Structure 1
Amino acid sequence: MTRIRLSRPDEGERAVEIWRGAVDATHDFLAPEDRLDIDEMVCGFLPQAPLWLAVDENDHPLGFMLIDDGHMEALFVDAAHLGSGIGGALVRHGLALHPEMTTDVNAQNDQAVRFYERMGFKETGRSPTDEQGRPYPLIHLKYPG
């Protein structure tokens, strides 16, 4: 059974581990130099970010979600647990808090695009680059509420 709770200050390193494993498993479209730049950026903010964690029966984090003002900034699940329902549980928790939640997904990440479609999110627009101007198109999504 997955439980969802807020992160604690000592869990930042585990969040980075989850992020790295998930990105390596799902973001094969990233250029190696961009992957390193993004890793550095993530390591600079993720350990201190207020995260919603999905934890197992031993309170071990298996995935996380970062929501800022109703916008899901991040959703990552430990690579060993992809497809097990953890991401869905986190999103449902986020939607309970923010019924019209928005998010962005890399257009090149087919698995994630399909996941958000299955969850009921609808496309509201597209951008040709990511937030840092890198050549990774984004699909902007909103849950209809």
Structure 2
Amino acid sequence: MNIYEVQDRDSRVYAALLDIWERSVRATHLFLSDAEVKNIKTYVPQALEAVKHLVIYEINPNEPVAFMGIENGRLEMLFIAPEARGSGIGKQLLHYGIQRHALCEVTVNEQNIQAVGFYKHMGFETYKRTDFDEEGNPYPLLYMKLT
């Protein structure tokens, strides 16, 4: 097991993370159509580049199975390969973010029931809800803070 922050953001790292992102989204974001997943995927490399702290979790060297992005104490992204879900990786990544980057907020799709339950289990509580996501799509968001 290895958790580390990406220093050199090269295309090989992004290719592996983009694969994790897509497989994770297809396993958890069942409310999105195939076309929507493909459309969102075009923006993921830019999001990976832009986030301040990009943290990767590897079980074997050079084989990422999960990643998260943190900016200003907010979890911007957390994606785990489907085969690694349920193994405690999300919890380990969150603890890393809380300890090293004062992680205390997250925004999650309300329709992603498993993620909502996970964040509640980890001590986050909803303080705000919207009917639409940040792009204006009809996907309600929950804004959660660590209590």
Counterpart contact for 1:16–1:47, Cα < 8 Å: no
Deviation at 1:47, TM superposition (A): 5.5
Q: Mark the runs of 5 or more structure 1 residues left unpaired by the alignment.
A: none
Q: Mark the runs of 5 or more structure 2 residues left unpaired by the alignment.
A: none
Q: Structure 2 residue aligned with 1:87, among 82, 90, 93?
A: 90
Name the SS of the counterpart of 1:45 in structure 2: helix
Over 3 Å counting, the alpha-carbon distance change for 1:104 and 1:45 in structure 2 is: closer
Q: Which residue pairs with 2:4 in the alignment?
A: 5
Q: Structure 2 residue aligned with 1:128, among 114, 126, 131?
A: 131
TM-score by length of 1: 0.90
Render the CA deviation track for 1:68-123: whole Å, top value 9, x for unaligned.
11111000001110111111110111111244510111100111011001111111
- Give the % identical residues: 36
Counterpart contact for 2:22–2:37, Cα < 8 Å: no
CA RMSD in angstroms, aligned pairs only: 1.6
Q: Structure 2 residue aligned with 1:143, among 137, 143, 146?
A: 146
TM-score by length of 2: 0.89
Between 129-138 and 39-48, report the one with greater CA deviation: 39-48
Q: Which residue pairs with 1:26 in the alignment?
A: 28
Name the structure with the higher strand share: 2
Please give the alpha-carbon distance, in whole angstroms, between the structure 2 residues aligned to 1:60 and 1:33: 28
Between 95-104 and 42-51, report the one with greater CA deviation: 42-51
Please give the alpha-carbon distance, in whole angstroms, between the structure 1 residues aligned to 2:30 and 2:138: 14
Between 34-43 and 10-19, report the one with greater CA deviation: 34-43
